[in-house]
Amino acid sequence: MRENKVMRKTILLLSLLILAAACVSWTPPASSQEFPHIEARKTITPSKAAQGSDVEVTITLRGAGGMILTPVDVALIMDRSGSMQGKKIEDAKKAAKAFLAFTDERDRVALISYSSDVVVGELAYMNEDGKNALKASIDAMRAWGSTDIYDALVAAMDLLLASPRSNAPPVIILMTDGLHNWPTLLPDSAFQTLAASAKSKDIIIYTIGLGGDADINRLRLIAETTGATFYFAPTSDELQAIYEEIGSKLAFAGTNIEITETIPPYMTYNNDASKPPASQTGDGGLILKWKLGHLKVGEEWEVTYTARAGLAVESNDQTVQTRVEYITAEAAAAIINLPPGLIYHDVRVANFTVEPSVVYQGELVNITVSLVNQGLIQERFELRTVYDDAVLDTRTVTLGIGESKTIEFKWNTSGVKGSVEGTRYNVTVIADPEATIWETNRDDNQMTRQLEVKVQPENVWWIIIVFIIITIITVGGITYAKVKPAPQVSYNCSSCGGSLRYDRLRREWYCTRCGRRYRGQA
């Protein structure tokens, strides 16, 4: 009994070990994070548009990849006015130094502190020495004076633009606990204009409002104008978490982003883009350019516009009319050639001959078809030749862009009904008879020629033979009459004694004196 219990425990233990091993063996390996990059998508609606109708084009960019921090240039604007005395400025110093933990030797950071004056620090790389020097500058701040937010922003923008890096987006982090009040009060419009100027130079400005005295609406306006975020900290205790959150989000998928859209000559831009392009040129069709600046991981940018089709057009995944260029976090140039594009089809029957145009039943007819592809894509289609309602020939034809091709074949008319007077047929060649190709003009997809088929009259041969026999007999008799000589004898009339002559046509004798005729021998 005891042995059975030991056996059951042993079996249970082995089962648990096997189960644990199985669980371990099926645990999927952790995947490494993907490096930040830009993903692009383009849609065209509808995918086919008739001549004169509109299509809607949408281009979407998304910052993709893992939240891996990428190079960045940061200006930390910190409020050291008199209202920041005590715990607030100490918590602000602690929060700013916590932000530096999210930087490395590829990043540059400068401290700009302000009260009644503005003190601008150096934009330094965040290696160990750079971080230590910046932390010392942060610790040296003392709270006093008024609040000059506007000039601090101007100084930060000038510093970042003095030595820009193509792969490092310029970022400003502005923190304040009050209102701009030095040297004079300024309206919101002044800050909005300044923020718009920063946006045009690809500078983003995060804003942090500390406490109830901060001008929340103005700070939000500045941040949203540049495409950044406004944060509100009710007390200084929340500052560190906000700075850390901003630091963790400084992962940029690309910078210096430029989107180029070529609208071909057979399309007309309706001048209605949801985001106005930075430029429009007319070189080889209309070219629209958008300059985005930068895109963070997880962030999206999108533009939509419409255009009118001058021909029947179709979306094609092999055609590229959109190009996205940007600088990666590793300072490498990246290009995305983004399909689909809009193309048109145009297959044409250039010439069609049916020779000869009049034949007798059973004779051969030479058919020649000349085709040309005037569209923007290789075409593969059916070519069908018919006479009246009967299919004469069908085959598959492939034509490259701009290619011409001539097709020849012979038609045996043995089974084609004819008549003595001639039966006429309409012979038609049709390119793409099932209309699988989307094109504006299908009138030039076919061409028609006429053919007349005759037959010989019935019993014509025996009529010809009889005619030949009669002709031979007639000609032979006349020839015999002309050739046969008259008898060389002399006879006299028994009635009057006059001389007799021989009539070759009647084959009889007659008297030259009295006219008596003699049949047979005189």
Produce one character per residue of 288-314: b if its CB has 16 or more CB atoms within 10 Å, e if not: bebebbbbbbeeebebebbbebebbbb
Is 515 a member of any domain?
yes
Q: Which two tokens stand for residue 242?
A: 């906000």
Domain termination residue (choose one: 343, 378, 398): 343
Domain that holds residue 429: 347-454
- pLDDT of amino acid 505: 80
Is 97 inside any structural domain?
yes
Q: Are residues 91 and 214 in the same domain?
A: yes
Q: Are residues 246 and 295 in the same domain?
A: no
Res 14 pLDDT > 90: no
pLDDT computed for residue 207 by the predictor: 98
- CATH code assigned at 54: 2.60.40.740
Give 416-454 pLDDT, tens digit per residue: 999 999 999 999 999 999 999 999 899 999 999 999 999
Cα 301 from Cα 169, distance rounded (Å): 16
Q: Is residue 94 part of a domain?
A: yes
In a domain, 445, yes or no: yes
Which of 431, 454, 477 finishes a domain? 454
> Does 47 lie in the same domain as 109?
no
500 in the same domain as 384? no
Of 183-197, 213-227, 472-486, 505-519, minimum mean pLDDT range? 472-486
Q: What is the CATH number of the domain that holds 424?
A: 2.60.40.10
The answer to whether 487 touches 494, Cβ cutoff 8 Å, is no
What pLDDT is recorded for position 69? 83
Which residue shows structure tokens 């930075």? 278
Same domain, 288 and 407: no
pLDDT given for residue 20 in this prediction: 38
445 and 413 within one domain: yes
Mapping DSSP to helix (H, G, I), strand (E, B) and coil, where does residue 458 land?
coil
Residue 231 and residue 120 share a domain: yes
Please give the pLDDT value at position 19. 38
294 and 169 in contact (C-beta within 8 Å)? yes
Closest CA to 401 of 439, 375, 432: 375
pLDDT digits (tens, 9 = 90+) for 368-423: 999 999 999 999 999 999 999 899 999 999 999 999 999 999 999 999 999 999 99
- Average pLDDT of the residues of the chain: 89
- Judged against a pLDDT cut of 80, whether residue 1 lies above it is answered with no
Q: Are residues 257 and 274 in the same domain?
A: yes
Angle between helix axes 188-200 and 149-162 (nearest 10 degrees) is 10
Domain presence at residue 32: no
Looking at residue 482, its pLDDT comes to 53
Q: What is the DSSP letter of 168?
A: B
pLDDT score at 2: 45
Structure tokens at 342: 């809009």
Closest by alpha carbon to 91, among 186, 200, 210, 191? 210
Task: Flag whether 48 is in a domain.
Answer: yes
- Strand locations in 93-145, DSSP E? 108-114, 118-120, 124-125
Domain-located, residue 96: yes
**Per mean pLDDT, which of 2-6, 165-169, 396-400 is the most reliable?**
396-400
**pLDDT at res. 17:** 38
Contact partners, residue 50, CB within 8 Å, separation at least 6 = 309, 312
* Strand order through the sheet with 499-503: 491-492, 499-503, 508-511, 517-518
Confidence of residue 469 (pLDDT cuts 50, 70, 90): confident
Strands 124-125 vs 170-176: parallel, antiparallel or unpaired: unpaired
Tell whether 94 and 163 lie within a shared domain.
yes
Query: What CA dihedral angle connects 306, 311, 314 and 315, to 10 degrees?
Result: -40
Mean pLDDT of 276-296: 89
Whether residue 107 is contained in a domain is answered as yes
Same domain, yes or no, for 492 and 482? no
Of the residues 285, 318, 343, the one at which a domain ends: 343
Number of separate domains in the chain = 5
Residue 149 CA to residue 158 CA, distance in Å, equals 14
More confident residue, 69 or 126: 126
Which uninterrupted H or E stretch holds 480?
helix 460-483
Question: Is residue 47 located within the same domain as residue 103?
Answer: no
114 and 204 in one domain? yes
Q: What is the dihedral of CA 293, 295, 300, 303, to 10 degrees?
A: 20
Closest CA to 157 of 168, 176, 169, 171: 171
